[in-house]
Amino acid sequence: MASRKILSVLIAAGLGCILLFAQEHSSSAFYEVRPDSDAGTSVHAQQMLRQGRETFRFDTFGDEAFWGNTLKLHQAIEGAKLGGVGPGLSPAAALGLGLKVDVDALPKSLIAQLKAGKVNLSDPAVTVALLQLNAVIGVTGKFDHRGKLQTVGIQCALCHSTVDDALTPGIGHRLDGWANRDLDIGSIVALAPNLQPLADLLSTDQATVRKVLHAWGPGKFDAELELDGKAFRPDGKTAAVLIPPAFGLAGVNLHTWTGWGSVTYWNAFVANLEMHGKGNFYDPRLDDAGQFPVAAKAGFGHTTNTTDLITPTLAALHLYQLDIAAPAPPRKSFNEEAAERGKEIFSGEGKCSSCHVPPLYTEPGWNMHTGEEVCVDDFQANRAPDKRYRTTPLNGLWTHTKGGFYHDGRFPTLMAVVNHYDACFRLGLGSREKLDLVEFLKSLPEGKHEDDSAY
């Protein structure tokens, strides 16, 4: 008996040593495979994926220096009662602005209280407590040792994640890569007490900046505003565009509605110029003062920082996004027979597959078109270097029906999109064919369903 006990103690001690050893040595030194072998590549891919996911969810790239320290957004969140300014942002108001809460970051006791309706959702102190739990998706509060909110930063997940509403609407498990079409990012930024830096950049006043931000509305953001200063389209509507999903991007050449560049190009762009993180960014296309007066003047195409918190994250962040698959639609969310017929029309009479080439549903190669080619105006295209629209990859369309379709959501439904193409290309589709085509669009990615074991 005694010797057995000694043996198990010895085994436990040995295991402990191995674990310690594993922790102390970076895993690249620990695995017994050559880094350039097949097994080494798999281990490397797993490491990169984990690292990229961390960055996507939690990395602010030091942007709290802008959102908190400079714009003082955290003071508007806590409100005057907690030492900030104004009424504060209650959890109910935060959820109303489309912010999402990660249920997996909440302690069990709080989940129980939420379920029982015992949490005061109109108290900004609760929002601050949620920030302290790191439970507000895409927003990170930094606290001092006394638990006082010092500043706040934002992450990629703010716009490109949502939750599955598992607990209540707005509170659930993370869905990375999904476009948050509820998020009224303009109204959130407009809460910031000090918008002077943005006003200075755009050569205007704070009241005008607030007006522009409030005009964006849910699910929209304007990444080009800080480049060209164009806040409204010629028809008077906001120049902001819909937040696209950040899944199903592998194999796609150019990204964003207007094809600014690759995934990693855009990540560097957005982390430096939009999130105001600390890094380096190079794009001499932004020196064109005719097209990008604001960016050219500010020298955005030659952004340098001695502390670079962005460039070291780009490789893993790139890989992570390429790995997020477009999610499969729930099995009963579309008519399978109609979708089968719609598939034939998509590649046949509808001529859709000449641009949306399956299974990527964008062109392999240079996936760009003028507005004229798809019968729309070129206002937004002209705000990007190539002055074209990128053929949108269509997998996972069912996840972002809110806010409409095309870059600015001008078509409220998929049927409206189909009707547009029918007129644009004089397809002469019958009403039954149009319905079939819509069912096919709802079924993408093809052949995959939520309850398939692989998903």
CB 455 within 8 A of CB 406: no
210: contact with ligand HEC by CB under 6 A: no
Closest distance to ligand HEC from the beta carbon of 215 (Å): 15
- List the x/- string, 147-166, binding to ligand HEC by CB under 6 A: -------x-x-xxx------
How far apart, in whole angstroms, are the C-alpha atoms of residue 83 and residue 87? 11
CA distance 86 to 29: 53
Binding mask 275-294 for ligand HEC (x = CB under 6 A): x-------------------
Stretch that binds ligand HEC, among 97-105, 128-136, 291-299, 349-357 (CB under 6 A): 349-357
Q: Of 410-439, which residues contact ligand HEC (CB under 6 A)?
A: 414, 417-418, 421, 437
Complex with ligand HEC: residue 317 or 360, whichever CB lies closer: 317
Task: Say how many CA atoms lie within 13 Å of 427 toward its Cβ.
Answer: 22
Scored b (16 or more CB within 10 A) or e, 398-411 reads: bbbeebbbbbbbeb
Distance, in Å, from the CA atom of 441 to the CA atom of 401, rounded to the nearest integer, reads 11
Residue 283 is encoded by which pair of tokens? 């794009």
Which of 114, 137, 185, 195 lies at the binding interface for ligand HEC (CB under 6 A)?
Answer: 185
Measured from the CB atom, is 130 or 441 closer to ligand HEC? 441
Stretch of residues binding ligand HEC (CB under 6 A), selected from 10-18, 20-28, 115-123, 352-360: 352-360
Distance in Å, CB of 100 to ligand HEC, minimum: 13
Residue 101 or 275 having the CB closest to ligand HEC: 275
Rounded to an integer, what is the distance from CA 334 to the centroid of its chain? 26
End-to-end CA distance of the chain: 48
Pick the stretch among 34-42, 126-134, 161-169, 399-407 that binds ligand HEC (CB under 6 A).
399-407
Choosing from 89, 195, 198, 271, the residue that interacts with ligand HEC (CB under 6 A) is: 271
Q: 126 or 240: whose CB is closer to ligand HEC? A: 240
Q: Which is nearer to ligand HEC, 292 or 405 (CB)?
A: 405
- The binding track of 240-259 with respect to ligand HEC, each residue x by CB under 6 A or -, is -x-xx-x--x-----xxxx-
Give yes or no for a contact between 319 and 48, defined as CB atoms under 8 angstroms apart: yes
- Any residues with CB less than 8 A from the CB of 416 and at least 6 apart, and which? 404, 405
Q: Which is nearer to ligand HEC, 91 or 350 (CB)?
A: 350
Closer to ligand HEC by Cβ: residue 52 or 79: 52
- Residue whose C-alpha is closest to residue 393's, from 422, 426, 367, 413: 367
Residue with smaller CB distance to ligand HEC, 48 or 82: 48
Cis link prior to 330 (omega < 30° from 0)?
no
Cα 293 from Cα 314, distance rounded (Å): 28
Instruction: Give yes or no for residue 325 binding ligand HEC (CB under 6 A).
Output: no
Q: By CB under 6 A, tell whether 190 contacts ligand HEC.
A: no
| 440 φ/ψ sector (left φ>0, alpha ψ -120 to 50, else beta) | alpha
Q: Which residues contact 108 (CB under 8 A, 6 or more apart)?
A: none
Residue 401 touching ligand HEC (CB under 6 A):
no
Task: Identify residues 363-382 at the interface with ligand HEC (CB under 6 A).
Answer: 369, 373-374, 376
Cβ 299 to ligand HEC, closest distance in Å? Answer: 21
| Least distance from ligand HEC to the Cβ atom of residue 182, Å | 13
Binding-site member from 223, 314, 322, 326 for ligand HEC (CB under 6 A): 223
Let me know: does 360 contact 393? Beta carbons within 8 Å.
yes
Would you state the structure tokens that stand for residue 393, as one six-digit string? 């990859």
Give the residue with the Cβ less far from ligand HEC, 128 or 281: 281
Q: Distances in Å between the alpha carbon of 263 and those of 105, 163, 254, 315, 361?
A: 29, 23, 8, 10, 17
- C-alpha 277/C-alpha 308 separation (Å) is 9
In whole angstroms, the minimum distance from the beta carbon of 323 to ligand HEC comes to 12
Cα(124)–Cα(140) distance, integer angstroms? 16
Q: Is 99 in the site for ligand HEC (CB under 6 A)?
A: no
Residue number with CB closer to ligand HEC (78 or 228):
228
Question: Of 93 and 326, which CB lies nearer to ligand HEC in the complex structure?
Answer: 326
CA 1, CA 425: separation in Å to the nearest integer?
A: 84
Which residues, 6+ apart, have CB-to-CB distance to 253 below 8 Å?
Answer: 262, 362, 363, 364, 365, 366, 367
Complex with ligand HEC: residue 78 or 433, whichever CB lies closer: 433
Sites of contact with ligand HEC (CB under 6 A) = 154, 156, 158-160, 185, 221, 223-224, 241, 243-244, 246, 249, 255-258, 263, 266-267, 270-271, 275, 317, 321, 350-352, 354-356, 369, 373-374, 376, 389, 391-392, 394, 405-407, 414, 417-418, 421, 437, 441
